[in-house]
Amino acid sequence: MKRFCAIIVLIIIGCLASFNSFAQKRTIKAKLHKEEVEGVSREGAAIEIDLNNKSIVKEWESTLKTYGKLTKLKGDAYKVTEATFPGVTGTCVIYAKCYSSSKGYLAWWSIDNGTHITSNSKHSESKLEEFARQQYINDINEQVKDAESAIKSAAKAQEKQVDKGADLIIDISKNGQEKQKLEQELKDNASELQQLNKDVETNKGDQKKAADEAAKMQKALEVVKGKLNDL
């Protein structure tokens, strides 16, 4: 039980530490960045996400699908065709990547509509920042869920111990009653033994009286027999 409570406390402390870290104004800022996709070095925008969470890759794929037809390329690259993107007239092609980095994960994309990426950098960077911010929110929500689950487990454990305590009190009460019953039985047994001892002594006296009476009867019988001899 102590070990379980310690684990619960550690989980909650870990969550609180993460909340505190997030509360200390996290820097969420995209930047221009180049990546090679399909053998071409492409200029685009990237953002570092300071989380070690593999689900970020799946979230990135889901985000890319909202812009157009997603195709997985070699390695960690993606291509979105027939894409529509804020600030871009008509359709475009989005080249993207998402991979683990020294800080956590890096999400990158390049918007190809025949013009230089910097012409769309405002929308490109702001969308990346929205994505990163949502990942931090998702992470905190998961931590909240874990903390709530830990608290529920602790509450159930506490309730179980309370019930166990109530059962122990009942057992103590029953034990006390049983003790009183046994003590009374011991008293009754002692009284019964005392009476039996008295009965044994009384019986000894009765046996002696019966023996004396039998002796008298025998003697009387002999007297009667003696009278027959006198005839």
pLDDT in tens, 72-97: 999 999 999 999 999 888 999 999 99
pTM above 0.85, yes or no: no
* Per-residue pLDDT, 25: 66
Distance of CA 79 to the CA centre of its chain: 42
Most confident range (mean pLDDT) of 7-21, 116-130, 150-164, 215-229 is 150-164
Pick 1 or 158 by higher pLDDT.
158
pLDDT value for 6: 52
Q: What is the pLDDT of residues 16-43, one digit of tens each?
A: 454 455 445 688 999 999 999 999 999 9
Q: Nearest Cα to 35, choosing from 122, 101, 87, 120?
A: 101
Domains belonging to the chain, first-starting first, are: 26-146 (3.30.310)
Residue 2: its pLDDT value, please?
Answer: 52
| Mean local confidence (pLDDT), 41-57 | 96
pLDDT band at 106 (very low <50, low <70, confident <90, very high): very high
Q: Which residues of 36-65 are buried (b: 16+ CB within 10 A; e: fewer)?
A: ebeeeebebbbbbbbbebeebeebbeebbe
Two tokens, residue 42: 């492409």
Cα distance between residue 141 and residue 129, in whole Å: 18
Alpha carbon distance 25, 65 (integer Å)? 30
194-216 pLDDT, tens digit per residue, is: 998 888 888 988 888 888 888 88
**Mean pLDDT computed over 188-193:** 89
pLDDT at 225: 77
At residue 130, does pLDDT exceed 80? Answer: yes
